[in-house]
Amino acid sequence: MEATEQLAAISKYTAQKLAGDVTGHGVDHINRVVTNAKMLLAEEPSADYLITLSSAYLHDVIDDKLVSDVSAAQQDVEQFLSSIEFAPDQVHTVMLIINNMSFSKSLTDDQQPLPLEGQIVQDADRLDAIGAIGITRAIYYGGHHNEKIYDPQIAPRTSMTKAEYRNLNNETIINHFYEKLLKLPDSMNTPVAKKIAKGRQKTMTTFLEDFKAEWNGMK
């Protein structure tokens, strides 16, 4: 099977898996991550195109905040990739990437280093979590989970385990910017992503300044 056919099959598989998403991790998000990954690939020609884009398409289908049985989801992805003629080493690399690229994974003790392909996908995903789109997705996700918008009496958490990070009872939508989103630009791997992230960081900081000014009736 040609790589173009494999990627088409993966795109269809992901669309089916995330068709009902109402958290900001749907097909529109996936397509933006894939677009970002293609842009970064143009600057990183040594990266494997198929592995990078396959991981970009699949990165959310095993996410523990989106699926109830992560182990079953992982097994399903592995079987699917094998069915479209991915070699065992290719399956292994894709699974390594999508299991270790998330922000929540960085809060654990067992995160494994990402190959260049994984670094590109991580950057592509994180670019979609910041800037104007990132602001919208944070509010959309928080609203879906009935989070408070803001409470100035609740300070952002500065140190968290993965379990604490996942406990949305201790978070507000605005605090999420300080606990995660504003940290992402410094975590970018590739030069192009770092440059883009600086601009999107300014978008978020301006939003937060305006939000707090309006919250306090000063603007």
Considering the four listed CATH numbers 3.40.710.10, 1.10.3210.50, 3.30.70.260, 3.40.50.300, the one that applies to the domain covering 3-215 is 1.10.3210.50
Give, for all 219 residues of the chain, the pLDDT tens digit.
999 999 999 999 999 999 999 999 999 999 999 999 999 999 999 999 999 999 999 999 999 999 999 999 999 999 999 999 999 999 999 999 999 999 999 999 999 999 999 999 999 999 999 999 999 999 999 999 999 999 999 999 988 999 999 988 889 999 999 999 999 999 999 999 999 999 999 999 999 999 999 999 986
CA dist 153 to 71, 98, 172, Å?
39, 36, 11
Domains of the chain, residue spans: 3-215
pLDDT of residue 52: 98
Q: Which residues contact 23 (CB under 8 A, 6 or more apart)?
A: 65, 66, 140, 141, 144, 145
Kindly compute the dihedral angle of the four CA atoms of residues 89, 188, 113, 176, in this order, to the nearest 10 degrees.
-110
Residue 118 and residue 137 in contact, taking contact as beta carbons nearer than 8 Å: no
pLDDT of residue 44: 96
pLDDT of residue 218: 81
pLDDT of residue 129: 98
pLDDT of residue 219: 65
Residue 195 and residue 36 in contact, taking contact as beta carbons nearer than 8 Å: no
Give the C-alpha separation, 101 to 105, whole Å.
7
pTM for the whole thing?
Answer: 0.96
